[in-house]
């Protein structure tokens, strides 16, 4: 478990552009912390130009919540073809900052490859995080892990993989389909990708997640549109992946058991007594 040690009052800070920040600006604000207890902060935040007035007030008497440890990688993906460099915060079809707590031990991720060599990168490891990552951060940490990287050639694609324009997760028992405000914000806002921060929409992300989930189960299991929509309604859970990364995310969790065939329900008529 992770247990809180202290909290702090929001300080009077100024960002590197000289703007006074008495608020947490979306998509993020850096705090130049003071040394407190056993914590000695680095100078990284101050070196970027963040300053503050006075000392920060810390509170040590905080509720000792027990947050279950769930190590996962917040940001993992491949390079996009459309731009030579991108903001690391908004997610995209080739992955990136999904901030899905399910991307950990035992999960396989499928990313569409757009450039030669794929150019895999990862970071933003968390010790724990709830769905939505509501205030902007999980329990940030560093990890050392073992990762198996495989390349699936187009000739070996399943029907669903041939349609993949989103990051797909798989566990032993579930599929994890990712949808965003914009399927590809780099295409929608090609000239100024940062415009996605002013266009974040949970409604559009939910609609996109449903569309991607329907497309996936139709291709993977040979369903009709009507069959897919009915099954999704009755058996698929949708959740807010993150509401902090510009291109907001909703995921659909698809239990594989739904498609396992005869579930064993007895449909025979009862014998007369």
pTM: predicted TM-score of the whole model, two decimal places: 0.90
Retrieve residue 39's tokens. Answer: 């914590």
Among 150, 148, 126, 121, residue whose Cα is nearest residue 138: 126
- Predicted confidence at residue 267, as pLDDT, reads 46
- Predicted confidence at residue 137, as pLDDT, reads 87
- Predicted confidence at residue 221, as pLDDT, reads 97
Q: Is 186 exposed, middle or buried (0-12, 13-18, 19+ CB in 10 A)?
A: buried
Phi, psi of 13 (to 5 degrees): -125, 160
Retrieve residue 51's tokens. Answer: 């300053």
d(C-alpha 170, C-alpha 110), whole Å: 8
- Predicted confidence at residue 136, as pLDDT, reads 86
- Predicted confidence at residue 261, as pLDDT, reads 80
Among 51, 46, 48, residue whose Cα is nearest residue 14: 51
d(C-alpha 78, C-alpha 75), whole Å: 10
Q: What is the mean pLDDT of each run of 10 residues along the chain (273 residues)?
A: 94 92 77 93 95 95 96 97 95 98 97 97 96 92 95 96 97 98 98 96 98 98 98 98 96 97 55 54
């Amino acid at each position: 478990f992770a247990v809180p040690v202290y909290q702090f009052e929001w300080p009077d800070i100024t960002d590197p552009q000289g703007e006074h920040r008495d608020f947490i600006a979306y998509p993020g604000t850096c705090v130049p912390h003071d040394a407190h207890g056993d914590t000695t902060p680095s100078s990284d935040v101050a070196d970027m130009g963040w300053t503050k007035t006075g000392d920060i007030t810390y509170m040590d008497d905080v509720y000792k919540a027990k947050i279950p440890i769930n190590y996962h990688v917040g940001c993992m993906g491949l390079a996009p073809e459309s731009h030579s460099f991108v903001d690391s915060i908004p997610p995209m079809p080739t992955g990136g900052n999904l901030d899905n707590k399910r991307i950990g031990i035992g999960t396989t991720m499928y990313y569409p490859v757009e450039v030669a060599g794929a150019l895999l990168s990862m970071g933003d490891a968390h010790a724990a995080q709830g769905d939505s990552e509501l205030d902007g951060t999980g329990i940030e940490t560093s990890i050392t892990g073992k990762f198996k990287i495989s390349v699936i050639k187009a000739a070996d694609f399943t029907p669903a993989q041939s349609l993949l324009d989103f990051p797909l997760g798989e566990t032993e028992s579930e599929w994890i389909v990712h949808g965003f405000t914009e399927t590809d914000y780099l295409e929608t806002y090609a000239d100024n990708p940062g415009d996605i921060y002013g266009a974040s929409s949970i409604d559009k992300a939910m609609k996109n997640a449903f569309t991607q989930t329907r497309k996936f189960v139709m291709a993977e299991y040979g369903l009709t549109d009507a069959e897919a929509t009915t099954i999704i309604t009755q058996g698929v859970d949708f959740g807010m992946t993150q509401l902090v990364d510009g291109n907001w995310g909703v995921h659909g969790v698809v239990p594989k058991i739904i498609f396992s065939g005869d579930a064993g329900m007895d449909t025979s008529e009862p014998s007369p007594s």
